[in-house]
Structure 1
């Protein structure tokens, strides 16, 4: 037992006063002699004995009464178990990612967590609240009640490292309690390493009852016909025992197709045929699990002719004119001597076809061309020096050509998952007509092969960047050195390498990934473009993206905007320049990725109520001065009772 005011215990010396009063009687008695009063003497003896007992009882009662009063003023208490942490600052990390939409026993996980916070956090408790999207420093539950009740789900996945970094940056002389409320979906061991040893981390892991979920994963053009696109929609199922689900396709919010899809496996691809025109809509499914991944917004622009320029000998470039036909491409071929550099920036793809040497002026122009979103296809010449080739390629990435090998090789391996062949093969094939080469360069680089030789060396690879790609062959493909021109691979390979993402393909961007967008527009000095919603779903949202003028193009970056997924348009004032679509990241779709086992080394608490009750009990001193006040009153009543009833 300890005392808040131990100095008051000195008053215990006052206990000597009642002792002195009771031991030394100051009254004097006079002797009076009477006649023979034997009976009176016996009565006097009995009275004195009774009086002595009463005095001792009163002495004990007064001593105890005075002792209790003094102890009560000294305020005794029993020290708390965890009194050292009683001054800790409190931080609450609340996961409001989309996976917290899942339903537990008492409703949606996030909404239930908010209700528990509002109900069980003491009103006088000062704390800081950190969510995926918002931060509230040094507040209390009354001040943020409205903000908590209106807290929305965030498209940002739960990142424990980010929350810990914010807490560490909030400098303080006190230790910190961190209460982490998350369903632990996607939690990884490396994220837990961000929790410092000096932090008292407590986890609350709300659990979803229903783990099944179906998500619209992606959409792409599977096949391009004369007047139609065949688009493929990929569905991903998480869990087991799925029922058939309805899937609908909308163009500008108008329903154009609907079907019922049985999900026999965890991956399912559904095909729709749409006109070869502008498409600006979304695909939607209906399931009873998470809602955020049930819609996928995408845009397809009406195909425009792609400008392709080949630089090389006419004889070696004849095969390209048969691939890049006039109905889809504006194809031209120039020798290096007749090339007009001014037309390069107007191209979508440039092919360097077996040039013996590439001058510095062309290298500089090509570097600028790549930065503005153009594709480059490099085919080496057997007569080129490796030093000149490496000088050219160093402008685009880390790859080095080595010596020319004089040995025949077969091209036997295709990277079917590479975007170049994504819509080419319906299934992987093992037997096809293997093209060969007689001379080829060895290369040194970490980029994966798109086509490989039988000895696993690279025949075709790519150096990707944000806006375009640089495709690199390691061997000349003229008919003298190779029969690749006669291979079935020649058409889809060169056809897809020339495709411009700004003119063809599906636009379906992920919010937060910050992929640049190229827009064909010429802006004046003070003009800007803006991104604005043009559907009812995202009605009203408008923002100005980061933008960079590139001659007759503008490169824009949207960072973490828009806040709501949907169909948008890029506008120059009121003029629509391009349709774009934004979607939430699908990383939260799999509810089965909850990794509670990783938390075995941490304190996992069942509920918010338990957390605050436990902390309060462990860190609050047990005050007992009230008991001494009660004892004082009890002894006071006892004294009155003795005075009145004891003779």
Structure 2
């Protein structure tokens, strides 16, 4: 027990006053004579004895009473249980990721948590609040009430370790009371490894009542018809979806088509047919759960002819002219000796068709072309030197040719999930007319196999730098060495190898996925392109590449939607952005990793616990009560003890 005013205890010397009063009786007794005291003798002895007891009781009572009241003024107390952290600052780490859109028993989780903070935080309580995307430093609930009520959801993952580092760098020498508010969806143990065990950490985990959810994963062109595109929408259901779910297709703000999907299995798809023209819209489903993944924005540009050049003997290039028809391609066949190097930069795809020797100048040009987003197709010649081929391959990645082998091989495996074929086959098939080769190089290294021989080695492999692609054949495909030109695979393989994603296909970029886009645009020295829609605009990172420009988007834009790339007021291309679907599965809640912290139900509980643990036990009230009790006790002794 300690005292706030220990100097008042010196007044305890006043306890000698009642002792002196009782030791020295100041009252004088007067003698009274009676004619006969024989009958009063016994009564006199009893009176004297009772008087002595009464005096001692009064003495003890007055001593205790005086000691209690003096001690009460000294204000005794016991130390708080957690007195070491009384100077800590309050830091709230609030998760505002998309999974907090889920609904609990009182509405959306994030909105309910914000209301809890505003209602139960004392008005004079200072705190710092950090979200996935913002921070409020040294504030109070009244000052940021409007900002908290308007807080937006984000696709940025909740990383409490990063937020704690930010808070500690702000005030490194100040202790902290940390409150983590999250639904713990996709939370990993590494996200809390930086938390110190000696710091008070509280966790509030709001629970979603309905964890069923539907997300649109992707949209792609499943089939290209003469005048139409067949659009396929891939969707994923989490949990049990009993009712049919409506799905709608919008071009701009106009409803184009609508259907329903029954999720008897978790993965379902829907197919729409749209005209073969510019499309700038979105797909939308309606469920009663998360809303951020119910819309998928995408854009399709009117097909432009791809520019393709084949370098090789005229006779060997003839089969390519039957694939790259004038309706879809601007195709040029050139022999190496007559090649116009200046024309290479304008191409979308360059095919090296069985060149015996590849000049260094051509190899350098191909590397620059590949770095700027072009596609390169390498078909070796039976007379090619493996060292010469490998010198070329070093410009594209880790792929190595070994010496040619005259053993017959058959292609038996197709990479159905490879970008070349993921829209070619409706389902995997084993009953297929596979091609074969009479002689082949052995291709090794880190290239991704597209077609494989029966021994597992690649017949066709691909390399990419995320902008351009290099497709490498392991064997010559002339009719003398292979029947590949007669295989059903020949057309989709070469057709897709020549496609430029910026000219054909769907434009749907995932925000934060570090994707890039190459556009045909001539920019002056200080000229830049912007990306904008009706609500916002931003300038992406851009790199001028001769007659092209490379755009990198990083974490922009902040909101998903349909946008367009502008050069001044000229619309270069329509593009669309979507959020990553990382928060869609609400069953990935990982509450267990927060068990080492103090788990509470609300902000009010946090403040109550902190106050009870850090408030000293004041004892002076009990001493005042004791004083009153002994004062009453003295009155009773005076009145009833004879």
What TM-score does the superposition give when structure 2 sets the normalisation length?
0.92
| 1:568 and 2:572 are equivalent in the alignment | no
| 1:552 and 2:552 are equivalent in the alignment | no
Give the aligned partner of residue 588 of structure 1.
583
Give the aligned partner of residue 309 of structure 2.
309
- Rounded Cα–Cα distance in structure 1 between residues aligned with 2:564 and 2:546: 21
Which stretch of the first structure deviates more once superposed, 110-119 or 70-79? Answer: 70-79
Q: Secondary structure at the match of 1:587?
A: coil
- Rounded Cα–Cα distance in structure 1 between residues aligned with 2:362 and 2:196: 54
Which stretch of the first structure deviates more once superposed, 608-617 or 275-284? Answer: 608-617
Structural mapping, 1:101-500, within 5 Å: 101-500=101-500
CA positional deviation for 1:77: 2.5
- Rounded Cα–Cα distance in structure 1 between residues aligned with 2:406 and 2:73: 101
**404 and 628 in structure 1: CA distance in 2 versus 1, 3 angstrom threshold:** farther
Q: Secondary structure at the match of 1:568?
A: strand
Which stretch of the first structure deviates more once superposed, 542-551 or 107-116? Answer: 542-551
Q: Secondary structure at the match of 1:327?
A: coil
Q: Secondary structure at the match of 2:158?
A: coil
Which stretch of the first structure deviates more once superposed, 497-506 or 373-382? Answer: 373-382
Q: Secondary structure at the match of 2:406?
A: strand
CA positional deviation for 1:257: 1.2
CA positional deviation for 1:580: 0.9
Q: Secondary structure at the match of 2:147?
A: helix
- Rounded Cα–Cα distance in structure 1 between residues aligned with 2:574 and 2:440: 43
Give the aligned partner of residue 536 of structure 1.
none
- Rounded Cα–Cα distance in structure 2 between residues aligned with 1:369 and 1:210: 52
8 Å Cα contact 1:509-1:515 kept in structure 2: yes
CA positional deviation for 1:421: 0.7
- Rounded Cα–Cα distance in structure 1 between residues aligned with 2:568 and 2:620: 75
8 Å Cα contact 1:547-1:554 kept in structure 2: yes
**613 and 421 in structure 1: CA distance in 2 versus 1, 3 angstrom threshold:** same
Give the aligned partner of residue 605 of structure 1.
600
8 Å Cα contact 2:61-2:633 kept in structure 1: yes
**582 and 335 in structure 1: CA distance in 2 versus 1, 3 angstrom threshold:** same
- Rounded Cα–Cα distance in structure 2 between residues aligned with 1:203 and 1:293: 27
- Rounded Cα–Cα distance in structure 2 between residues aligned with 1:7 and 1:364: 92
- Rounded Cα–Cα distance in structure 1 between residues aligned with 2:84 and 2:586: 39
**325 and 170 in structure 1: CA distance in 2 versus 1, 3 angstrom threshold:** same
8 Å Cα contact 2:93-2:131 kept in structure 1: yes
What TM-score does the superposition give when structure 1 sets the normalisation length?
0.91
- Rounded Cα–Cα distance in structure 1 between residues aligned with 2:557 and 2:229: 28
Q: Secondary structure at the match of 1:100?
A: helix
Q: Secondary structure at the match of 2:268?
A: strand
CA positional deviation for 1:191: 3.4
- Rounded Cα–Cα distance in structure 2 between residues aligned with 1:3 and 1:390: 86
Q: Secondary structure at the match of 1:362?
A: helix
Q: Secondary structure at the match of 1:588?
A: coil
- Rounded Cα–Cα distance in structure 1 between residues aligned with 2:287 and 2:162: 32
Alignment gaps of 5+ in structure 1 = 534-538
**Aligned-residue CA RMSD (Å):** 2.9
CA positional deviation for 1:428: 0.1
Give the aligned partner of residue 504 of structure 1.
504
